[in-house]
Amino acid sequence: MHGAPTAAVVKADAYGLGAAHVAPRLLAEGARHFFVAQLSEAVALRPLLPGAMIGVLNGFSAGEAGSYTVHDLTPVLGTLPEIAAYRAFAARIGRKLPAMLHVDTGMSRLGLSDAELDAVAEDPGLLGGIAWRYAMTHLASAELPNDPLNEVQRRRFADACARLPPMARSFANSSGIFLGAAFRSDLARPGAALYGVNPTPGRANPMRATVRLTAPVLQLRDIAPGQGVGYNASWVAHRPTRVATVALGYADGYHRAASGRAEAGFDGARVPLIGRISMDLLTFDATDHPALQPGDRLEMIGPAVPPDEVAGWFGTNGYEVLTSLGHRANRIYAAL
Ligand SMILES: *Cc1c(COP(=O)(O)O)cnc(C)c1O
Protein backbone atom coordinates (compact mmCIF):
# COMPACT_ATOMS: atom_id res chain seq x y z
CA MET A 1 0.00 0.00 0.00
CA HIS A 2 3.00 2.32 -0.25
CA GLY A 3 4.04 4.92 -2.73
CA ALA A 4 0.93 5.61 -4.79
CA PRO A 5 0.29 9.33 -5.41
CA THR A 6 -2.80 10.61 -3.67
CA ALA A 7 -5.12 13.51 -4.35
CA ALA A 8 -7.41 15.03 -1.73
CA VAL A 9 -11.16 15.24 -2.27
CA VAL A 10 -12.35 18.43 -0.56
CA LYS A 11 -15.84 18.73 -2.04
CA ALA A 12 -18.81 19.79 0.10
CA ASP A 13 -16.62 22.08 2.22
CA ALA A 14 -14.17 19.24 2.87
CA TYR A 15 -16.99 16.92 3.94
CA GLY A 16 -18.42 19.60 6.20
CA LEU A 17 -15.19 20.31 8.05
CA GLY A 18 -14.22 23.59 6.40
CA ALA A 19 -12.34 23.44 3.10
CA ALA A 20 -10.77 26.86 3.64
CA HIS A 21 -8.89 25.38 6.60
CA VAL A 22 -8.50 21.79 5.48
CA ALA A 23 -7.32 22.27 1.88
CA PRO A 24 -4.36 24.59 2.60
CA ARG A 25 -3.23 22.24 5.34
CA LEU A 26 -3.32 19.29 2.94
CA LEU A 27 -1.33 21.40 0.46
CA ALA A 28 1.23 22.10 3.17
CA GLU A 29 1.40 18.36 3.85
CA GLY A 30 2.23 17.70 0.21
CA ALA A 31 -1.04 17.19 -1.67
CA ARG A 32 -0.81 18.60 -5.21
CA HIS A 33 -4.13 17.39 -6.63
CA PHE A 34 -7.53 18.34 -5.25
CA PHE A 35 -11.09 17.54 -6.26
CA VAL A 36 -14.35 19.37 -5.68
CA ALA A 37 -17.78 18.69 -7.13
CA GLN A 38 -18.81 22.13 -8.32
CA LEU A 39 -17.17 24.96 -10.23
CA SER A 40 -18.01 27.45 -7.45
CA GLU A 41 -16.14 25.31 -4.93
CA ALA A 42 -13.08 25.26 -7.19
CA VAL A 43 -13.16 29.02 -7.74
CA ALA A 44 -13.30 29.63 -3.99
CA LEU A 45 -10.36 27.31 -3.30
CA ARG A 46 -8.04 28.43 -6.10
CA PRO A 47 -6.39 31.32 -4.15
CA LEU A 48 -5.75 28.92 -1.26
CA LEU A 49 -4.14 26.23 -3.43
CA PRO A 50 -1.49 27.93 -5.56
CA GLY A 51 0.10 25.59 -8.06
CA ALA A 52 -2.17 22.63 -7.30
CA MET A 53 -4.43 20.90 -9.79
CA ILE A 54 -8.09 21.44 -8.89
CA GLY A 55 -10.39 18.94 -10.59
CA VAL A 56 -14.09 19.73 -10.98
CA LEU A 57 -15.89 16.40 -10.76
CA ASN A 58 -19.20 17.72 -12.08
CA GLY A 59 -17.52 18.72 -15.32
CA PHE A 60 -17.54 21.67 -17.71
CA SER A 61 -20.36 24.18 -17.85
CA ALA A 62 -20.08 26.07 -21.13
CA GLY A 63 -22.01 29.05 -19.74
CA GLU A 64 -19.13 29.73 -17.35
CA ALA A 65 -16.30 28.62 -19.63
CA GLY A 66 -14.05 31.56 -18.82
CA SER A 67 -13.86 30.56 -15.15
CA TYR A 68 -11.92 27.41 -15.96
CA THR A 69 -9.07 29.31 -17.59
CA VAL A 70 -9.11 32.37 -15.31
CA HIS A 71 -8.80 30.10 -12.24
CA ASP A 72 -6.75 27.33 -13.90
CA LEU A 73 -9.25 24.54 -13.19
CA THR A 74 -9.38 21.02 -14.61
CA PRO A 75 -12.88 19.81 -15.47
CA VAL A 76 -13.63 16.10 -15.37
CA LEU A 77 -15.42 15.46 -18.67
CA GLY A 78 -17.84 12.59 -19.02
CA THR A 79 -19.92 12.89 -22.21
CA LEU A 80 -19.00 13.44 -25.84
CA PRO A 81 -21.05 16.66 -26.15
CA GLU A 82 -19.31 18.01 -23.05
CA ILE A 83 -15.92 17.13 -24.52
CA ALA A 84 -16.89 18.78 -27.81
CA ALA A 85 -17.97 21.95 -26.00
CA TYR A 86 -14.71 22.11 -24.07
CA ARG A 87 -12.68 21.50 -27.23
CA ALA A 88 -14.59 24.25 -29.01
CA PHE A 89 -13.92 26.63 -26.14
CA ALA A 90 -10.21 25.75 -26.18
CA ALA A 91 -10.06 26.27 -29.94
CA ARG A 92 -11.82 29.64 -29.62
CA ILE A 93 -9.19 30.94 -27.23
CA GLY A 94 -6.37 29.17 -29.08
CA ARG A 95 -5.14 27.05 -26.15
CA LYS A 96 -4.87 23.37 -25.37
CA LEU A 97 -6.68 23.13 -22.03
CA PRO A 98 -6.34 20.45 -19.35
CA ALA A 99 -9.09 17.99 -18.50
CA MET A 100 -9.72 14.57 -17.03
CA LEU A 101 -11.75 11.90 -18.77
CA HIS A 102 -14.41 10.14 -16.71
CA VAL A 103 -15.33 6.60 -17.83
CA ASP A 104 -18.44 4.92 -16.45
CA THR A 105 -17.64 1.40 -15.29
CA GLY A 106 -20.70 0.68 -13.18
CA MET A 107 -22.04 3.72 -11.35
CA SER A 108 -24.27 4.87 -14.21
CA ARG A 109 -24.00 8.45 -12.99
CA LEU A 110 -21.23 10.27 -14.81
CA GLY A 111 -18.68 9.25 -17.40
CA LEU A 112 -18.46 7.96 -20.96
CA SER A 113 -20.83 5.09 -21.70
CA ASP A 114 -19.74 1.98 -23.58
CA ALA A 115 -21.28 3.38 -26.76
CA GLU A 116 -19.35 6.63 -26.35
CA LEU A 117 -16.15 4.65 -25.75
CA ASP A 118 -16.81 2.74 -28.98
CA ALA A 119 -17.19 6.04 -30.80
CA VAL A 120 -13.94 7.36 -29.33
CA ALA A 121 -12.05 4.18 -30.22
CA GLU A 122 -13.25 4.52 -33.80
CA ASP A 123 -12.50 8.24 -34.04
CA PRO A 124 -9.76 9.36 -31.60
CA GLY A 125 -10.20 12.85 -33.03
CA LEU A 126 -13.22 13.14 -30.71
CA LEU A 127 -10.69 13.57 -27.89
CA GLY A 128 -8.36 15.90 -29.85
CA GLY A 129 -7.29 19.38 -28.83
CA ILE A 130 -7.38 18.68 -25.08
CA ALA A 131 -4.46 18.06 -22.70
CA TRP A 132 -5.71 14.89 -20.99
CA ARG A 133 -4.31 14.63 -17.47
CA TYR A 134 -5.96 11.41 -16.30
CA ALA A 135 -8.59 8.89 -17.22
CA MET A 136 -10.70 8.12 -14.17
CA THR A 137 -13.57 6.03 -12.94
CA HIS A 138 -15.38 5.66 -9.62
CA LEU A 139 -15.99 2.50 -7.60
CA ALA A 140 -19.54 1.73 -6.54
CA SER A 141 -18.88 -0.76 -3.73
CA ALA A 142 -15.28 -0.31 -2.65
CA GLU A 143 -16.22 -0.49 1.05
CA LEU A 144 -17.43 -4.07 0.45
CA PRO A 145 -14.21 -5.94 -0.44
CA ASN A 146 -16.10 -9.10 -1.41
CA ASP A 147 -18.50 -7.39 -3.80
CA PRO A 148 -17.76 -8.79 -7.28
CA LEU A 149 -18.53 -5.36 -8.73
CA ASN A 150 -15.07 -4.19 -7.63
CA GLU A 151 -13.31 -6.65 -9.92
CA VAL A 152 -15.83 -6.02 -12.71
CA GLN A 153 -15.08 -2.29 -12.54
CA ARG A 154 -11.34 -2.87 -12.36
CA ARG A 155 -11.47 -4.92 -15.56
CA ARG A 156 -13.81 -2.50 -17.35
CA PHE A 157 -11.54 0.41 -16.49
CA ALA A 158 -8.43 -1.41 -17.72
CA ASP A 159 -10.26 -2.34 -20.95
CA ALA A 160 -11.47 1.23 -21.43
CA CYS A 161 -8.02 2.70 -20.87
CA ALA A 162 -6.57 0.28 -23.43
CA ARG A 163 -8.90 1.83 -26.02
CA LEU A 164 -8.04 5.42 -25.12
CA PRO A 165 -4.98 7.45 -26.07
CA PRO A 166 -2.26 6.81 -23.48
CA MET A 167 -2.82 8.87 -20.35
CA ALA A 168 -2.34 8.51 -16.60
CA ARG A 169 -5.10 6.84 -14.56
CA SER A 170 -7.00 7.74 -11.40
CA PHE A 171 -9.02 5.01 -9.77
CA ALA A 172 -9.47 4.36 -6.05
CA ASN A 173 -11.50 6.39 -3.57
CA SER A 174 -10.84 5.95 0.18
CA SER A 175 -12.05 2.36 0.41
CA GLY A 176 -10.62 1.46 -3.00
CA ILE A 177 -7.11 2.19 -1.69
CA PHE A 178 -7.60 -0.71 0.74
CA LEU A 179 -8.72 -3.19 -1.93
CA GLY A 180 -5.10 -4.01 -2.76
CA ALA A 181 -2.41 -3.41 -5.35
CA ALA A 182 -4.65 -4.13 -8.35
CA PHE A 183 -6.67 -1.03 -7.47
CA ARG A 184 -3.66 1.24 -7.31
CA SER A 185 -3.31 3.81 -10.06
CA ASP A 186 -1.40 6.95 -10.85
CA LEU A 187 -3.64 9.00 -8.55
CA ALA A 188 -5.95 7.83 -5.76
CA ARG A 189 -8.83 10.12 -4.77
CA PRO A 190 -9.60 9.68 -1.06
CA GLY A 191 -12.07 11.91 0.70
CA ALA A 192 -13.75 10.27 3.70
CA ALA A 193 -10.61 8.50 4.96
CA LEU A 194 -8.81 11.84 5.20
CA TYR A 195 -11.46 12.94 7.65
CA GLY A 196 -11.31 9.84 9.84
CA VAL A 197 -14.25 7.87 8.43
CA ASN A 198 -13.40 4.16 8.44
CA PRO A 199 -12.66 3.09 4.83
CA THR A 200 -12.75 -0.59 5.90
CA PRO A 201 -16.13 -1.06 7.61
CA GLY A 202 -16.26 -4.15 9.78
CA ARG A 203 -12.54 -3.96 10.44
CA ALA A 204 -10.52 -1.72 12.75
CA ASN A 205 -10.27 1.82 11.41
CA PRO A 206 -6.79 2.30 9.93
CA MET A 207 -7.29 6.09 10.02
CA ARG A 208 -6.98 8.39 13.00
CA ALA A 209 -9.93 10.41 14.28
CA THR A 210 -9.90 13.99 13.01
CA VAL A 211 -13.17 15.39 14.37
CA ARG A 212 -14.44 15.92 17.88
CA LEU A 213 -17.85 17.46 18.53
CA THR A 214 -18.62 18.23 22.15
CA ALA A 215 -21.62 19.93 23.74
CA PRO A 216 -22.09 21.32 27.26
CA VAL A 217 -24.52 20.18 29.93
CA LEU A 218 -26.88 23.11 30.59
CA GLN A 219 -28.88 21.63 33.48
CA LEU A 220 -29.21 18.51 35.58
CA ARG A 221 -32.58 17.64 37.12
CA ASP A 222 -33.86 14.73 39.16
CA ILE A 223 -37.21 13.32 38.11
CA ALA A 224 -39.51 10.72 39.65
CA PRO A 225 -40.62 7.42 38.09
CA GLY A 226 -43.49 8.00 35.69
CA GLN A 227 -42.28 11.44 34.58
CA GLY A 228 -41.75 11.99 30.83
CA VAL A 229 -38.80 13.59 29.08
CA GLY A 230 -38.89 15.73 25.93
CA TYR A 231 -41.45 16.16 23.15
CA ASN A 232 -44.38 13.77 23.35
CA ALA A 233 -42.88 12.37 26.57
CA SER A 234 -41.63 9.54 24.38
CA TRP A 235 -39.27 8.45 27.18
CA VAL A 236 -40.72 7.88 30.66
CA ALA A 237 -38.60 7.36 33.79
CA HIS A 238 -38.97 3.92 35.38
CA ARG A 239 -36.73 4.79 38.33
CA PRO A 240 -35.60 7.98 40.03
CA THR A 241 -33.62 9.54 37.19
CA ARG A 242 -31.11 12.35 36.76
CA VAL A 243 -31.65 14.05 33.40
CA ALA A 244 -28.82 16.00 31.78
CA THR A 245 -29.94 18.60 29.23
CA VAL A 246 -27.26 19.30 26.62
CA ALA A 247 -26.91 22.18 24.15
CA LEU A 248 -27.01 20.41 20.79
CA GLY A 249 -29.82 19.42 18.46
CA TYR A 250 -30.87 18.50 14.98
CA ALA A 251 -30.19 22.04 13.82
CA ASP A 252 -26.53 21.24 14.53
CA GLY A 253 -26.69 18.16 12.35
CA TYR A 254 -27.42 15.73 15.17
CA HIS A 255 -30.17 13.90 13.31
CA ARG A 256 -33.55 13.53 14.99
CA ALA A 257 -33.59 9.94 13.73
CA ALA A 258 -31.16 9.07 16.55
CA SER A 259 -33.82 9.81 19.18
CA GLY A 260 -33.79 7.15 21.86
CA ARG A 261 -30.75 5.23 20.58
CA ALA A 262 -27.62 7.41 20.67
CA GLU A 263 -24.90 7.64 23.27
CA ALA A 264 -22.34 10.27 24.24
CA GLY A 265 -18.90 9.91 25.75
CA PHE A 266 -18.05 11.23 29.20
CA ASP A 267 -15.04 10.43 31.35
CA GLY A 268 -14.30 7.14 29.59
CA ALA A 269 -17.93 5.97 29.79
CA ARG A 270 -21.06 6.13 27.63
CA VAL A 271 -24.12 8.15 28.62
CA PRO A 272 -27.40 7.07 26.95
CA LEU A 273 -29.55 9.61 25.13
CA ILE A 274 -33.21 9.58 26.17
CA GLY A 275 -36.31 11.13 24.62
CA ARG A 276 -36.76 13.00 21.36
CA ILE A 277 -33.93 15.01 19.88
CA SER A 278 -34.99 18.67 19.74
CA MET A 279 -33.74 21.41 17.46
CA ASP A 280 -31.33 22.77 20.06
CA LEU A 281 -31.36 20.33 22.98
CA LEU A 282 -30.58 16.73 23.80
CA THR A 283 -31.46 14.86 27.00
CA PHE A 284 -29.39 12.11 28.60
CA ASP A 285 -29.88 9.69 31.48
CA ALA A 286 -27.08 10.78 33.80
CA THR A 287 -28.26 8.70 36.78
CA ASP A 288 -25.24 6.40 36.60
CA HIS A 289 -22.79 9.28 36.09
CA PRO A 290 -22.84 11.19 39.38
CA ALA A 291 -19.65 13.09 38.49
CA LEU A 292 -21.42 14.90 35.64
CA GLN A 293 -21.90 18.61 36.42
CA PRO A 294 -23.48 21.54 34.57
CA GLY A 295 -20.85 22.93 32.19
CA ASP A 296 -19.22 19.55 31.61
CA ARG A 297 -19.01 18.65 27.94
CA LEU A 298 -20.19 15.39 26.44
CA GLU A 299 -18.39 13.98 23.43
CA MET A 300 -21.04 13.58 20.74
CA ILE A 301 -18.65 12.62 17.92
CA GLY A 302 -14.95 11.94 18.34
CA PRO A 303 -12.28 9.39 19.16
CA ALA A 304 -14.58 7.78 21.78
CA VAL A 305 -17.71 8.03 19.62
CA PRO A 306 -16.61 7.49 16.01
CA PRO A 307 -18.61 9.03 13.15
CA ASP A 308 -19.24 5.54 11.81
CA GLU A 309 -21.00 4.55 15.04
CA VAL A 310 -23.01 7.78 15.10
CA ALA A 311 -23.98 6.97 11.51
CA GLY A 312 -25.62 3.76 12.74
CA TRP A 313 -27.84 5.78 15.09
CA PHE A 314 -28.63 8.29 12.34
CA GLY A 315 -29.43 5.55 9.84
CA THR A 316 -26.79 6.78 7.41
CA ASN A 317 -23.03 6.60 6.78
CA GLY A 318 -20.08 8.45 8.29
CA TYR A 319 -19.95 10.73 5.26
CA GLU A 320 -23.39 12.16 5.97
CA VAL A 321 -22.63 12.55 9.67
CA LEU A 322 -19.78 14.89 8.72
CA THR A 323 -21.52 16.78 5.90
CA SER A 324 -24.52 17.33 8.21
CA LEU A 325 -22.49 19.17 10.84
CA GLY A 326 -24.08 22.53 11.49
CA HIS A 327 -22.47 25.93 11.55
CA ARG A 328 -23.47 26.99 15.08
CA ALA A 329 -20.62 25.07 16.65
CA ASN A 330 -17.42 26.94 17.44
CA ARG A 331 -14.84 25.33 15.14
CA ILE A 332 -11.31 24.96 16.40
CA TYR A 333 -8.62 23.61 14.09
CA ALA A 334 -5.97 21.77 16.12
CA ALA A 335 -4.52 18.30 16.57
CA LEU A 336 -6.91 15.99 18.46
C1 LIG B 1 -16.54 11.84 -3.56
C2 LIG B 1 -15.68 11.18 -4.57
C3 LIG B 1 -14.46 10.60 -4.21
C4 LIG B 1 -14.04 10.44 -2.77
O5 LIG B 1 -14.72 9.35 -2.23
P6 LIG B 1 -14.44 8.82 -0.73
O7 LIG B 1 -15.24 7.58 -0.64
O8 LIG B 1 -14.90 9.90 0.19
O9 LIG B 1 -12.97 8.60 -0.62
C10 LIG B 1 -13.64 10.10 -5.20
N11 LIG B 1 -14.01 10.15 -6.51
C12 LIG B 1 -15.19 10.67 -6.89
C13 LIG B 1 -15.57 10.67 -8.33
C14 LIG B 1 -16.07 11.18 -5.94
O15 LIG B 1 -17.26 11.68 -6.33
| pLDDT tens per residue across span 80-99 | 999 999 999 999 999 999 99
pLDDT tens track for 183-227: 999 999 999 999 999 999 999 999 999 999 999 999 999 999 999
User: Using a 6 Å cutoff on CB, does residue 191 contact ligand 1?
Assistant: yes
312 phi and psi, to 5 degrees? -60, -40
Strands (E), the chain: 8-9, 33-36, 53-56, 74-77, 97-102, 130-136, 168-170, 213-223, 228-229, 235-236, 241-246, 263-266, 269-274, 282-285, 297-301
User: Using a 6 Å cutoff on CB, does residue 192 contact ligand 1?
Assistant: yes
Regions of the chain short of the pLDDT cut 50 = 1
Which residues constitute the domain of residue 221? 213-323
> Active site includes 195?
no
Dist CA 233 CA 284 (whole Å): 14
Looking at the domain assignment, is residue 336 inside a domain?
no
Q: Are residues 184 and 255 in the same domain?
A: no
Q: Are residues 168 and 219 in the same domain?
A: no
Cβ atoms of 85 and 97 within 8 Å: the answer is no
Residue type, 45: L
What is the model's pLDDT at position 3? 65
> Active site includes 319?
no
CA end-to-end distance (rounded Å), the chain: 25
- Ligand 1 pocket test target in 35, 54, 58, 103 with most atoms within 8 Å of CB: 35
Q: Are residues 180 and 282 in the same domain?
A: no
Looking at the domain assignment, is residue 204 inside a domain?
no
Looking at the domain assignment, is residue 205 inside a domain?
no
Q: Are residues 288 and 183 in the same domain?
A: no
Q: Are residues 166 and 265 in the same domain?
A: no
Which candidate in 96, 231, 250, 254 is catalytic?
231
Which positions ≥6 away from 31 have C-beta within 8 Å? Answer: 6, 7, 8, 52
Looking at the domain assignment, is residue 331 inside a domain?
no
User: Using a 6 Å cutoff on CB, does residue 174 contact ligand 1?
Assistant: yes
Domain boundary pick from 145, 165, 195: 195
- Ligand 1 pocket test target in 11, 17, 41, 57 with most atoms within 8 Å of CB: 57
CATH assignment of the domain containing 314: 2.40.37.10
Looking at the domain assignment, is residue 52 inside a domain?
yes
User: Using a 6 Å cutoff on CB, does residue 9 contact ligand 1?
Assistant: yes
Q: Are residues 178 and 236 in the same domain?
A: no
**pTM of the prediction?**
0.96
Shortest-distance Cα residue to atom 4 of ligand 1: 191
Looking at the domain assignment, is residue 100 inside a domain?
yes
CATH assignment of the domain containing 38: 3.20.20.10
Alpha carbon separation from 2 to 177, 184, 211 (Å, rounded): 10, 10, 25
Q: How many domains does the chain have?
A: 2
Percent of the chain scoring above 90 in pLDDT: 98
Looking at the domain assignment, is residue 186 inside a domain?
yes
CA of residue 9 to ligand 1 center, whole Å: 7
Atom of ligand 1 nearest to the CA of 37: 15
Cβ atoms of 174 and 158 within 8 Å: the answer is no
Q: Are residues 179 and 73 in the same domain?
A: yes
